[in-house]
A and B are shown apart, each in its own frame.
Chain A
Amino acid sequence: MTNNKRELCLSGTGVTKIFGFGNRKTVAVDHVDFNFYSGELISIVGESGSGKTTLIKMLLGLTSVTEGEIFFMGKKRDISSHEKKKEYWRGIQAIFQDPFSSYNIFSKIDSVLLDCIHMRGGRRLPKAKKIEMMREACSFVNLKFDEMTNKYPFELSGGQMQRLMIARVFLLKPKILLADEPTSMIDACSRATILDMLLKLRDEIGMTIIFITHDMGLAYYVSDTVYIMEKGKFVEFGTADEIILAPKAEYTKQLLDDIPKIHDPWEFSRNKKSTA
């Protein structure tokens, strides 16, 4: 990927989020600057409590920004009214960490997918066309629509729920997808499937994917660009190779050390003990 072709789709300057005030002030995100380019898969890596999810919520416009500016497609983001927010959300969508709490348990799966079609302006489409679209979205994530229809979310497994989330994104086709640790609550087999589907979204639709994780190995496996976040700040960013092979920040090295190594587990544990 060459630098001169890269088109900026989401960027921010001095983005800050402070919870509480006075003595109880907590700075969750501390003056971060970032430039996310179109068609890339960007990973934001950090331990829990480093402010990843707060940043995501700010990028989505679900939480207000205390300070700083966010630019979407080169323009300053405007989400002052419900209509403008709706317009913004046509371009930016999310997948959350916990598939079990992402669904309203009182409404059926069909309504989740129908909402997406309606949001894309397909409210007046004939019913057959809508079903066709839903079937296509389900087959994109290897689910059978006929098995899904008329079911409640809690009747599905965690992996199926998360794949349905991706089907939802497939229908909405936003420019940017924010995936907040989408694989952390799912077993290892489904994890690979989900990751492959995210890559498929990037490659086939050209979606920009911002992937939040605490797992360096996973980040290396999927991403073009990696941002390392520590205590609300980006301590390092660069291409996946740069970060993994030549880490500069102390925190990055620490994160790399913490990746479990399968090939020589005994040596790993002995080394750890001797250094300790």
Chain B
Amino acid sequence: MKAHLRSVVRSGKFMVGFIIFASILLFSFIYPFFNPGNPLAMIGYNSFTKPGTYISLYDSMETRRTYIFRLPEAELARVASKLDDRDRGLIREWLILFNKQENAGIRESEIDIENTTSLLSLWWEYYTEDIRVEGLTIAGRRELSRLDQRLDGLFYTDDRHVMSYNQETGEHDILFAVITVDDYVHIDDVANSIHLPLGTDGFGRDMLKQLVSAIGTSLWIGLIAGCVATSIGLVLGLVAGYVGGIVDDIIMFITNLFTVIPGFVLLILIANSMTQFERGPVTVAIVIGLTSWVWTTRSVRSQVMSLRNRDHVNLSKLSGHSMPRIIAKDVLPYLASYVVMAFILQISSGILSEAGLSMLGLGPSTTTTATLGLMMDWSIMKSTAHITGAWWAYYPVIIVIALISFSLNLMNTGLDQVFNPQLRD
């Protein structure tokens, strides 16, 4: 036993899998302590806000202490931030069309939309409202003229006066603050800011918090499904293999029946036949477990059949032991390594099945807990995340699902190598 444990620890594959799995598990345990609260609270009013830190504008103005910095690159950065990607694209498009028409001699490599200075200097050099460039609609032309007007304001650096609104008189009369271009506040002095490492989902909920709680729920679903599937598979396999005869025939008939019906179709039918209110995470886990025991039964049965004719089992019979005792003490220990491996695989396939079901809208029907599958479902709901480019709403979930099942499979392969000497490197 000790030697086995030692070789398990020494197995590279097992340890890599174990470390990945343990870190995911540990993270999902520890993170809620640092960031407590309801993971499904809708904190944002916008859908799919991008990852990053958000600082309250109101509180930044209210901050008592301001600092003055004169940074040489500040002006350029300010201009660059006012010019968004769409504006830059429009400028480039116009310059290309203009160049074709007038043969102005601008090389296309010169038009670099990343370089704000060169782009703007080109624009101001050539653009006048009067030039009619072929291939532009009237609307397009108007947009360009509006853009040109807006560009004039890019370098506006006058002080901003913040007035407070007097409700009684209905006037903006009290000068609240004067803000100059060189004023800075420290981020810690701002009363309210929120850090969203993975942004928010379509309902304005913190993605990371949700993901962490979903990992926990999904692992529970996998564990319950794995327990149900492994115990059914084990019991049926043991009974069929050891008792044999008519009992074996009946059990194998049922098993074969389940083998030919595709498990996932059965899962969909069962999940669909339940009402929305009955379909909690635990119910879904049990349904998954009830449809995925078949292969465990088959392999346990075949192993028990070869074990039951071994001499040590015969000797145990001759010592007058009862059937349950022989199964528990003389057959089961020989299967233990296989059962552990099957269990690990069942957990992994349970998590994947839940994700598959949920993406079809047949997963747990709940608004109080998140699962990995439900998060995928929510991200494609109204088909938005992948169209608006909100990668943070589904990529982290996909990566976590892949990592969990990869680590569990790696652990399984590692254990296989430990218990089966033929597979050792």
Contact = CB atoms under 8 A, between A and B. Distances in A.
A96 interface: yes
Contact of B310 (A90, A93, A101): A101
A124 interface: no
B172 interface: no
A82 B326 CA distance: 13
B319 A116 contact: yes
B312 interface: yes
Given A104-B330, A106-B333, A107-B329, A96 B314 contact: yes
Interface string A90-104: 100110111001111
Interface string B306-336: 0000111011111111110000011001100
Interface in A57-71: 57, 60, 62
Nearest to A116: B319
Given A101-B310, A107-B329, A119 B317 contact: no
A57 B334 CA distance: 23
Contacts of A60: 314, 318
A89 B320 contact: yes
Contact of B316 (A82, A85, A98, A104): A104
Interface in A102-153: 102-107, 115-116, 119
A62 B314 contact: yes
Contacts of B323: 82
Contacts of A93: 318
B311 A96 contact: yes
Nearest to A114: B319
B320 A119 contact: yes
Nearest to A174: B318
Contacts of B310: 101
B315 A62 contact: no
Given A104-B329, A104-B330, A106-B333, A98 B320 contact: no
A6 interface: no
A89 B316 contact: no
B315 A102 contact: yes
Contact of B315 (A90, A96, A97, A106): A96
B318 A94 contact: yes
Contacts of B315: 94, 96, 102-103
A102 B319 contact: no
A84 B193 CA distance: 81
27 contacts: A60-B318, A62-B317, A62-B318, A82-B322, A82-B323, A85-B317, A89-B318, A89-B319, A90-B320, A94-B315, A96-B311, A96-B314, A96-B315, A97-B311, A101-B311, A103-B315, A104-B330, A104-B333, A105-B312, A106-B329, A106-B333, A107-B329, A115-B319, A115-B321, A116-B319, A119-B319, A119-B320
Interface of B: 310-312, 314-323, 329-330, 333-334
Shortest Cβ-Cβ A-B pairs, 8 listed: A106-B333, A86-B320, A96-B311, A115-B319, A102-B311, A104-B312, A101-B311, A119-B320
Given A97-B311, A102-B315, A104-B316, 20 more contacts: A57-B314, A60-B318, A62-B318, A85-B320, A89-B318, A89-B319, A89-B320, A90-B320, A94-B314, A94-B315, A96-B311, A96-B315, A98-B311, A101-B310, A106-B329, A106-B333, A106-B334, A107-B329, A115-B321, A116-B319
